[in-house]
């Protein structure tokens, strides 16, 4: 049995008087690609923000590598190997592509290895290499998503959290992003993927959790869920 890298227990998160997450339990084991699917407003992004310390929690605990990380800041978590690509990408618009990638490695001091990792990112995303001196704010949404993923990889994460990576992208770019998710996973990075495009998410994941109205309502093997009539009716439009 692979080690449990991330364990969420009884997680409750409220903001603006609304209980967005109502007592959620799930875990991510080393070497897995786990997806959290559900409709808009189910509490998926709130859960991701709680895990990465950008949102406080009301109850429950978040264990990473067996230790509670409740109350720790995002910068501390990046140092420990937990990196997130946020919904909406969040690139530094007035910095170049290269500067954005260097920002992803700000917790590191191994200059030669940072340069090697930037070269690896350019192998995964050749389009970024062609434009490495271009300002990030002038790029298309799909290119910014590539950059956000590349920037997160520069921290050498043990667990990569992806929040809605395909949102707002063209079908061709969605294909490219999921190809990259597969590629990054095949290189040994453990991934927690939050995604509204349930069929694509279930197609790449090992295991899946379904979130609805702040609760986990189903869990299991991702490929089994892809065939499940209830999942197909609720999330795949059938």
Question: CATH number, domain at 98?
Answer: 3.40.50.300
For residue 184, being part of any structural domain is answered with yes
pLDDT attached to residue 186: 93
For residue 48, being part of any structural domain is answered with no
Q: Which two tokens stand for residue 87?
A: 């919904």
Number of domains in the chain: 1
For residue 118, being part of any structural domain is answered with yes
Please state the pTM of the whole predicted model.
Answer: 0.93
More confident residue, 237 or 2: 2
For residue 83, being part of any structural domain is answered with yes
Per-residue pLDDT of 160-209, as tens digits, reads 999 999 998 999 999 999 999 999 999 899 999 999 899 999 999 999 99
Range of 121's domain?
31-42+73-235
For residue 77, being part of any structural domain is answered with yes
What is the C-alpha separation between 201 and 194, in angstroms, rounded? Answer: 8
Average pLDDT of the residues of the chain: 93
Structure confidence at residue 12 as a pLDDT band (50, 70, 90): very high
For residue 140, being part of any structural domain is answered with yes
Per-residue pLDDT of 122-162, as tens digits, reads 999 999 999 999 999 999 998 999 999 999 999 999 999 99
3-state secondary structure of 166: coil
Number of neighbours of residue 41 by Cβ within 10 angstroms: 12
pLDDT attached to residue 84: 92
For residue 49, being part of any structural domain is answered with no
């Amino acid at each position: 049995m692979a080690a449990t890298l991330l364990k969420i227990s009884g997680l409750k998160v409220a903001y603006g008087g609304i209980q967005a997450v109502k007592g959620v339990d799930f875990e991510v084991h080393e070497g897995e690609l786990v997806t959290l699917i559900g409709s808009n407003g189910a509490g998926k992004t709130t859960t991701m923000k709680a895990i990465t310390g950008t949102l406080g929690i009301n109850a429950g605990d978040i264990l990473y590598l067996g230790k509670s990380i409740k109350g720790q800041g995002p910068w501390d978590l990046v140092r420990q190997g937990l990196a997130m690509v946020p919904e909406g990408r969040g690139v530094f618009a007035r910095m170049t592509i290269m500067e954005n990638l260097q920002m992803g490695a700000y917790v590191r001091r191994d200059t030669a290895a940072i340069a090697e990792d930037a070269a690896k990112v350019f192998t995964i995303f050749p389009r970024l290499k062609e434009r490495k001196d271009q300002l990030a704010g002038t790029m298309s949404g799909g290119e910014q998503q590539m950059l956000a993923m590349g920037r997160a990889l520069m921290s050498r994460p043990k667990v990569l959290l992806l929040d809605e990576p395909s949102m707002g992208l063209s079908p061709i770019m969605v294909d490219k992003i999921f190809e990259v998710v597969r590629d990054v996973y095949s290189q040994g990075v453990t991934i927690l993927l939050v995604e509204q495009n349930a069929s694509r998410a279930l197609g790449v994941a090992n295991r899946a959790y379904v979130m609805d109205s702040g609760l986990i309502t189903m869990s299991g093997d991702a490929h089994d869920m892809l065939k499940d009539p209830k999942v197909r009716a609720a999330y795949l439009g059938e």
